[in-house]
Amino acid sequence: MKKLLVTVFALGTLSFAAQAQTSTAAAKPELTKEEKAKLKEKQEQLLTASFKEANFTDEEIVKVSTIMQDGKKKRNDLKKNTALTDAEREAQTQATKDEEKARLIEVLGKDKYKAWKDIQKKQKAAETAQ
């Protein structure tokens, strides 16, 4: 009887430990401040490169940057708003993204916007391939 209890206890402990390891392995790793700074710098470099490759004028760069910053600020405000349900937050976030896209198309024109987005997709594909 003792052997049976010890065996059941050991198996229970092992299964619990195995389950704990898989759930922590799936968690998103926290980035240090240095890693976040490097990531942000890399994103800025890619954005600047996409502006150049799409032949944006200085005026377009300023307008696009302003639109993107405004959209980011609105989305961050939505994330912080705890009064909203997840569905409401998702709907408002999507509406903000749609508004940002419309403003970008208004500034750049449909063809230039599409070319710029294609460049960004190529950059993202190249980053994930590394």
Residues 6+ apart with CB under 8 A from 65: none
> pLDDT of 22-34, one tens digit each?
554 456 678 888 9
Lowest mean pLDDT among 10-24, 81-95, 108-122: 10-24
Please tell me the distance from the alpha carbon of residue 12 to that of residue 24, in angstroms, as a whole number.
19
Closest CA to 70 of 107, 100, 25, 48: 100
Please tell me the distance from the alpha carbon of residue 93 to that of residue 16, in angstroms, as a whole number.
38
Please tell me the distance from the alpha carbon of residue 15 to that of residue 60, in angstroms, as a whole number.
58
Residues 6+ apart with CB under 8 A from 63: 107
Say what the pLDDT of residue 28 is: 67
Are 28 and 64 spatial neighbours (Cβ–Cβ below 8 Å)?
no
Average pLDDT over residues 34-52: 91
Say what the pLDDT of residue 58 is: 94
Helices (H) and strands (E) in the chain, counts: 5, 0
Residues 6+ apart with CB under 8 A from 113: 104, 105
| Mean pLDDT across the chain | 86
Average pLDDT over residues 119-123: 93
